Every structure is written in C-alpha cells, then in structure tokens.
Amino acid sequence: MRWKEQLLTLTPYQPGKSIDAVKKQFKLEKIVKLASNENPFGCSPAVVEALQTNLSGLAIYPDGYATHLREKLSEFLNVDEEELILGNGSDNLIQIISRSLLHPNASTIMATPSFSQYKHNAVIEGAVVKELPLINGEHDLEAMLAAIDEQTNVIWVCSPNNPTGTYIPENKLIPFLDKVPPHILVVLDEAYFEYVVAEDYYDSIRLTRKYENLIVLRTFSKIYGMAALRVGYGVANRAIIKVLEPVREPFNVNSLGQLGAIAAINDQEFVEVCKEKNRQGLSQFYDFCEQNQLDYYPSQTNFILIDLKVDGDVAFQFLQEKGYIVRSGKALGFPTAVRITVGSSEQNEGVLQALSEFL
C-alpha cells in the first residue's frame, strides 16, 4: 500500500534543543532564541491579565464552540459566526483540512520550499503531493495551476511564505483564484498576515465571499504573541466550514486560549506597535545585508532568510555558540542560508554582531 509506505518516510517534528540545554552545553549565561518566529515583545498585557483573573475554571472542559471568541472574531472580521472554524493553532486547521479532504486517491499541490506541515499532513493521509519550486522566492502560480489533475482537491498557498517571507501581490492572486476550478479548495495560509506592510496585498477575508472554494488561515501565535496558548482560525463560506467541522476535535481550543485571544483582539494598539517595531527591526537586517553584500528576500513577516553562501548548519552552529539560536536553511530547502526571527532592536544588533564575526 503506497499509503503506509509514505508514512514510513516521515520523521516526527524535532523542535531542536531547549534553551537550557544550549546554555549548559556552551556554558552561556544568556541565550536568545530567534528560531521560531515568535513575538520578541510577548503578548499584550491585557492577555496576561485576562488569564490571571480566570484561572479558577480549569476543572471544566472548554467551550467546544468557543462561543465568545467566535462572537468576537465575527465582529472583528465582519464575517458570520458560521464562516469561522477555530483550531488548536493553525497547525490543527491544516490537520483538519487534510483529514477531511485528502486520501490515497487525491492529489494536492503546494509550493516548495514552503511551510512543512502541508506536505506532512498530506503524506499522512496518503495523498499524492505535487510540489512546485518557488521562482525567486515566489509561488509559481502558473505551474501550480498546470499541475492540477483529475484527483486534485486541495491547493496550499502560503502568503507571506515561510521560510522566504515573500508575499503574493493582489494582481497575481486574483487571476490565480479565477482559474482554480471551484471544486478544489484553496488554502491561503496567512500566519504572518498582521506583519504585512505591502500596499498591493489583498483583502483575503473579502475574497472568501467571492471565491467559495477559498479558506484563509490565521493565528494568534505570531504578532499576538500567544504561541503557547495555541489558537488559530479559518475563514471560509459555510459550506466549507460544514465539511471541516465534523473532523475537529470537540474541545480543540483550550479555555485560556479562548480568553486570551479575546483580550488580544481588544488590544489592537499592541499589534500596531509590534508591527512598527518589526518593520524597524527588518531594516537593521536589510542594512546589514547591503553592507555585507548578502542576498536576502525582502520580508513581509517577522523573519528574514539570508543567503550566507556557506553551509547553513555551520553558520547555525557558530551563532549557537555565541548564544543565538536561529534556523539553519538546510532543513528549510535553502542549504546555504539561515532564517532569523526579527527580535528586539538589541537582540537584532547582537545576532548581527555575531554574524559579522562569522563572515
């Protein structure tokens, strides 16, 4: 069975060494982790307060319908409550979509390199995976359309894309959506949406009204700084949500996550401040790359992929010994690059100083 053989090719997710393990190994006082695109400024103080004042209900199962968060999101995004699905992080939504739609007789299309979980889940479901290489860091949407076959039922689009940080402009996304046959689901993963500053970006939520085969995924793990609480959401028309809901675990979003996400939405000022600090942080990286003639992709996210033209693992090791944990590009499909999360201005200065010692 092709399906079972495919499963044997998978390795479980390896989160890498803990901060404490790295500290001990290299006898370092301080470690800065710039590897998982978390928010260096944490979450809004309003989130912490909401959690602290609501710690008494831990014996009770969470609200399986996330009633209050659903209401809040529906008002915030101006969509109906039935047009939303909540996930234990957007990872969980990727899993739910794959479990609902993919199977050994289905084929699914994605860009490569892109976020690893699309392929991982598709392989688990036994689907045929068609990976189309990025061109200059961007999705090759024409090639993705050309790869559609009779069995295709899900296309994954990551914008902004992890690990390149690049986005798809509106004038490319719309003609693509126009050409995807309506029976194929397009998953638009916008985990980094709130960081986008590009003016020719699209209003994806509005697009879900026009394209009934589109689902948009977002998360509270990135700019909202709530990665530990695991909350993500999907927006699509109700017919799609209806197909996905039966696959969702009954209590997939925990109570504290639901409360935290409501408080987080209420503090949009925090989001704006983080977006601006990230923009300034990115320019520290751009300046460094220009000064050192290093290639990079301009990023719409809180990370940057820099080509060092040497083995990414070697650069990773060097930076780790200096107390900075980044991601080697090797496991991300860019063997001579590193992906660095934009930190606070001080953290950025520190990692760039260490990088200049490496060059």
Binding site for ligand PMP (CB under 6 A): 37, 89-91, 115, 158, 162, 189, 191, 219, 221, 227, 232
To ligand PMP, the closest distance from the beta carbon of 303 in angstroms equals: 9
> Where is 354: in which H helix or E strand?
helix 345-358
The least distance separating ligand PMP from the CB of residue 129, rounded to whole angstroms, comes to 17
Question: Which residues pair with residue 84 across a beta bridge?
Answer: 235
Q: Please say which residue, 6 or 341, places its beta carbon nearer to ligand PMP.
A: 341
Cβ atoms of residues 306 and 142 within 8 Å: no
Nearer to ligand PMP, 156 or 288 (CB): 156
Burial 244-269 (b: 16+ CB within 10 A, else e): beeebeeebbbbbbbbbbbbbbebee
Report which residue's Cβ sits closest to ligand PMP: 89
- Shortest CA distance to 192 belongs to which of 172, 221, 169? 221
By C-alpha distance, which of 225, 228, 234 is closest to 186?
234
User: CB of 245: closest distance to ligand PMP in angstroms?
Assistant: 19
Question: Residue 83 has what DSSP assignment?
Answer: G
**Please, is 293 exposed, middle or buried when counting C-beta atoms within 10 Å of its C-beta (0-12, 13-18, 19+)?**
exposed
Task: Please list, in sequence order, all residues whose beta carbon lies within 8 angstroms of the beta carbon of residue 18, skipping any fewer than 6 positions away.
Answer: none
Closest approach of ligand PMP to the CB of residue 142, in Å: 22
For the CB of residue 56, give the shortest distance to ligand PMP in the complex, in Å: 27
Tokens in use for 220? 């509270």
Nearest-CA neighbor of 300 among 278, 285, 284? Answer: 278
Shortest spacing between CB 290 and ligand PMP, in angstroms: 26
Shortest CB 321 distance to ligand PMP, Å: 25
Residue with tokens 């061109």: 135
From the DSSP assignment, how many helices (H) and strands (E) are in the chain? 14, 13
Element spanning 238, H or E? helix 238-244
Of 288 and 297, CB closest to ligand PMP: 297
The smaller minimum CB distance to ligand PMP, of residues 37 and 288, is found at: 37
Q: Which two tokens stand for residue 105?
A: 């007789």
C-beta closer to ligand PMP: residue 185 or 191 = 191
Residue whose CB is less far from ligand PMP, 113 or 312: 113
- Residue whose CB is less far from ligand PMP, 141 or 354: 141
Beta bridge partners of 305: 339
What is the rounded CA–CA span in Å between residue 302 and residue 347?
13
| Token pair of 76 as six digits | 């915030």
Nearer to ligand PMP, 83 or 91 (CB): 91
Minimum gap (Å) between residue 158 Cβ and ligand PMP = 5
